Amino acid sequence: MTHETLEKAQLGTTLFSQALWDELSGRVARAFRMTEAEEAWLRDGKIARLIAALPFLAGCEDAERTAVAHLGTYLLSTRETKTYFTAQPGDNQSVLERLRLGSNFKGGDARIIERGLCLLALNMVADYKRDIEEDARLGKYNPIAAGAWDFEATVADLEYRIISIPCEEMEKLLPLVAVPMGYWGAPE
C-alpha cells in the first residue's frame, strides 16, 4: 500500500484527501492574505471544504482549478465584497440561482454536482431563516422573510434531492444532519 493510499484509507476518503484540502485551503488563504485565525476558519469550514471537494467528487476536468475558483468566489461572498453577493429579488426564481457564480463545472457527474449544490443551498436557506430578524433590522433583503421562498417546502425539496443521490464521501464531508447548524459566512 502506497503512502497516499494509506493516507486515504485512514481518512476514509478516496477522492478528496486531507492533504489535498490542506494544500488548496493553504494556498487560497495565502492568496487572500488571511490571518492565522482566518486560515484556521477556512481550513476547518465544512462549507468551504465541500465547495473545494465537489469538483473532485464529481470527477470534473480541471478539478483543482475549479476548486480554487469556487473557493475564491465563496470567500468574496464572505468578506469585504459580500454586499455584491447578497440576495436580491432577481434571485427568487430558484434557490440554486444564488449559487450560480460558484457552480461552473467542466464535465463530471451532474448528479453529484446537484447533490453538492443542494447541500450548499440548504445551508444558505437555513442561514436566511436564522437571519430573518437581523436582516429586517439591517434592511437587508431576505427571500424567506419576503415570502419568495417557503422555508419548509424549500427544505423538503432540497433534502429529497440530496437523499436521492447517494455519495458516501460527500456525506462524510458534510452530513445532511449537520447542514442547519452550519454558517455560510466568515466569523465577524
Render pLDDT for 67-78 as a digit per residue (tens, 0 to 9): 999 999 999 999
Q: Is residue 2 part of a domain?
A: no
Q: Is residue 88 part of a domain?
A: yes
Q: Is residue 6 part of a domain?
A: no
Task: Render pLDDT for 41-89 as a digit per residue (tens, 0 to 9).
Answer: 999 999 999 999 999 999 999 999 999 999 999 999 998 998 898 899 9
Question: Domain total for the chain?
Answer: 1
Distance CA 22, CA 81 (A): 25
Q: How sure is the predictor about 175, in pLDDT bands with cuts at 50, 70 and 90?
A: confident
Residues constituting the chain:
188
| pTM, to two decimals | 0.87
Residue 112 · residue 57 · CB < 8 Å: yes
41 three-class SS: helix
Q: Which structural domain range is residue 122 located in?
A: 16-177
Q: Is residue 187 part of a domain?
A: no
68 three-class SS: helix
